[in-house]
Amino acid sequence: MTIDDAPREALRGGPRELLRWVATGAAVSRADLSRLSGLSPSTVSQRVEALINQGLLEEAGAGQSRGGRRPRQLAVPTGGAVVGAIDLGAHHARIGTLDLSGRVVQGRTLPVRIEDGPETVLGTLLAEVTALASGGAPGASLASGGGAAGALRGVGIGIPGPVQHSTGRIVSPSRMPGWNGFDVAAFCADRVDVPVIVDNDANLMALGAHRTAHAELDHAVYIKAGTGIGSGVISSGRLHRGAQGSAGDISHCRVVADPAPLCSCGNAGCLEAVASGAALVTALREQGVPVDDLTGVLRLIDDGDRHATALARQAGRAIGEILAVVVNFFNPQVVAIGGRLADCEPLLASMRATLYERCLPLATQTLLIERVATSQDIGITGAAHLVIDHVVSAHP
């Protein structure tokens, strides 16, 4: 059984949690880790030594004595080893390198055309990430053991479509022509000599948001609302993907009866067809309101345009109706919305009101409903943690 398969209680004091405590500053010594985990000093010492041997922890000098030998301080290496991350969108991609604590070392936003196809888009982005990690020009060779900036330990990639996580293959994406069935993991494996972990972009946002803002909570739902709509689910403190990797895909849940807008998946009345950024653009154009993209929609809402504001409220209600089913069924501790639509106050207010109206009082009694902390790096942070978890899991 891998760490990803283990229940939350079995992870108490596991390698991943020990690493997280040191990375966040909650622990600076083996004694601290023993106190936090409840494990014996000898067990903690064995796990710490394994993490040191993997290059995930280091000893950084002696700490303050409390009446005996001065304890050796622990730290996450901030130089040398890095993790590469790619958060791919329809029009832009955020790429970066992060240290082994999940902190961003370098980050860049690049324009992309998803319709250019997987080989072109991913080939370019991998070259850029390799350049960031190696300190060289795009396309510079970097294997697991070298590079000017040290060792690249792996690359995490977020895809804006359904991903079969176990294989790294894209399955029937609705807005990615030419990407269906593409084996992202195999393509990348031919270009970088490190593990490449592929997942849906909403899952990576959920993982990044949970690790940075809600690590103490066991159950959470994170919605990514931008050009499309998706969500990621945290259950028992870990990312929940379901049997094939499609857990949390709310985009094609039906919310409108016939006649209803046609969705990109071929069905009618899906959440994405009525509440996504792309849907708002289409609806405004049909009403005769000139708007080019989601940026234009948000500008209209900020200016108080009644058509755009009414559509945003309708979208919030539609999202809230789907999430009400999720909240009643799953009973999370937090529902957080990220993506560009998260800053749309009429949508957020409508979603929140619908949740309180449609959910059982017990389900909302202590429920947090909030925005994901605004950060363009939340996706690459999740991608980095995905790789770090893989590295830790591979060396128990």
Kindly state the tokens that stand for 180: 């269906």
pTM of this prediction? 0.86
- Give the whole-angstrom CA distance, residue 313 versus residue 130: 43
How far does Cα 72 stand from its chain's mean position? 34
- Give the whole-angstrom CA distance, residue 68 versus residue 70: 6
Most confident of 43-47, 189-193, 203-207: 203-207
**pLDDT band at 323; cut points 50, 70, 90:** very high
- Give the whole-angstrom CA distance, residue 57 versus residue 17: 12
According to the model, what pLDDT value does residue 350 have? 97
| Closest C-alpha among 36, 34, 61 to residue 45 | 34
For the segment 35-84, what is each residue's pLDDT rounded down to a tens digit? 988 999 999 999 999 888 888 888 876 655 555 555 689 988 766 678 99
Give the list of residues 6+ apart from residue 86 with CB closer than 8 angstroms, or none.
Answer: 93, 94, 95, 125, 126, 129, 155, 156, 157, 158, 380, 383
H/E run at residue 43:
helix 41-53
| Closest C-alpha among 35, 15, 32, 25 to residue 75 | 25
Kindly state the tokens that stand for 308: 């755009």
For the segment 266-292, what is each residue's pLDDT rounded down to a tens digit? 889 999 999 999 999 999 999 999 999
Sequence letter at residue 68: G
Higher pLDDT, 19 or 123: 123
For the segment 226-255, what is each residue's pLDDT rounded down to a tens digit? 989 999 999 999 999 999 999 999 999 999
According to the model, what pLDDT value does residue 142 have? 41
**SS3 state of residue 106:** strand
H/E run at residue 228:
none
